[in-house]
Amino acid sequence: MIAGGAAPGFAARLRRGFAASDAAPIYGALALVAAISWGAIVLAGGQINLANTLVRSVALGLVAVGQTFVILGGSLDLSVAYQVSVTAVMASYIMQGDPNRMWLGVIAVLLIGLAIGCANGLIVTGLRVDPFIATLGSGLILRGILNASFDNFAGAVPKEFQVLGYGALGPLPYAVLLLGVVAAAAWALLRFTRFGHHLYAVGGSQETARLSGVRSARVLIGAHMLCSLGAVLTGLFLVSRLGAGAPWVGPDGNYDLESIAAVVLGGTPLVGGRGGVLGTVAGVLILALLDNLFNQLAVNTFLKEVLRGVIIVAAVAIYTVRSVRSPR
């Protein structure tokens, strides 16, 4: 009886918390974009493929969830695109198509990602370098190493690993399940742990957080390491789809600027301290729906970029005005 009563109560608290959060209006915008885009596709004689749209959002979604951590702390990471490439190339290079080397490749790229994230965090907090410059510089270093070491696809991942990119549990692709699990874990980390509370405090005001006993440097280093893990997961997903990694995989996806756009579109300001993963997921889905709409309607590539830019700026401007008029 107690357990049965506790579950509905917990679910009700989750619903009330979501309705009162900053993410609620973002999901309203997501519903509106979905209705308009799907309506336009149907009227144009196209087909709605929800599963395909979700899979196409996984790569950006994973790196955007990681980007959310650093932006919440008042930082950012412009090296994620090249971290994606490093992961894809090193995973396929280490695995060499051998199923017995699959976990070795996964563990190796996870350690590489954590090392890059730790280095970024130390440069930002220890050397006091602006995050924009620090992560731009580390991205250029990674690009130089990649281009000097590889000029094409390197190695291969085994077919067993490609299940991540193409397999499914019933109607739900494994990749979408991975994004859901990562987003849920990130939400719980921010919502229920001391680290999450400290990260919001640091993003709100580093000085106030420091005076309150929060070790800001450790928090930001942790945020950068989590951001790198998001980039690693994106690289692993992409290499599972491609079968091998190449130096241009990350930059071609524009995952640095796209992830920042998704986070900001989801209601997390670049100054940090407010927002969260739920809004980021909605921002990723909005961008995926817009891309699907433009592709189905065969919109010119350059015009598509213009339209996406206008929509992002307009959405963020509306959110900013709303925040100013109804401060928390």
State residue 326's pLDDT score.
58
Mean pLDDT in the chain? 90
Q: What is the helix (H) or strand (E) element at residue 247, kind and residue range?
A: none
State residue 3's pLDDT score.
47
pLDDT exceeds cutoff 70 at 14: no
State residue 18's pLDDT score.
53
State residue 283's pLDDT score.
94
pLDDT exceeds cutoff 50 at 184: yes
pLDDT exceeds cutoff 50 at 2: no
Q: DSSP characters for 30-50?
A: HHHHHHHHHHHHHHTT----H
Q: Band of the pLDDT at 193, cuts 50, 70, 90? A: very high
What is the tens place of the pLDDT at every residue in 229-260?
999 999 999 999 999 999 999 999 999 999 99
pLDDT exceeds cutoff 70 at 17: no
Give mean pLDDT, residues 279-290: 94
C-alpha 30: how far from chain center = 17
Alpha helices in the chain (DSSP H): 2-20, 23-43, 50-72, 80-95, 102-126, 131-149, 163-166, 174-192, 194-204, 206-211, 216-242, 249-252, 255-265, 277-296, 301-325
What count of other Cβ atoms lies within 10 Å of the Cβ of residue 288? 22
State residue 59's pLDDT score.
97
Q: Which of 55, 75, 53 is nearest to 228 (CA)?
A: 75
Q: Band of the pLDDT at 296, cuts 50, 70, 90? A: confident
Give mean pLDDT, residues 124-141: 96
What is the tens place of the pLDDT at every residue in 81-108?
999 999 999 999 999 999 999 999 999 9
Are 106 and 305 spatial neighbours (Cβ–Cβ below 8 Å)? Answer: no
Which residue reads 């992409």 in tokens?
Answer: 238
Q: Which domains does the chain have, with CATH numbers?
A: 25-30+55-325 (1.10.3470)
Sign for the CA dihedral angle at 237, 164, 182, 179 comes to positive
Pairing of strands 168-169, 172-173: antiparallel
What is the tens place of the pLDDT at every residue in 149-175?
998 899 999 999 999 999 999 889 999
Q: In percent, how much of the chain has pLDDT > 70? A: 91
What is the tens place of the pLDDT at every residue in 18-69?
554 567 888 988 999 999 999 998 888 888 888 888 999 999 999 999 999 9
State residue 324's pLDDT score.
64
pLDDT exceeds cutoff 90 at 311: no
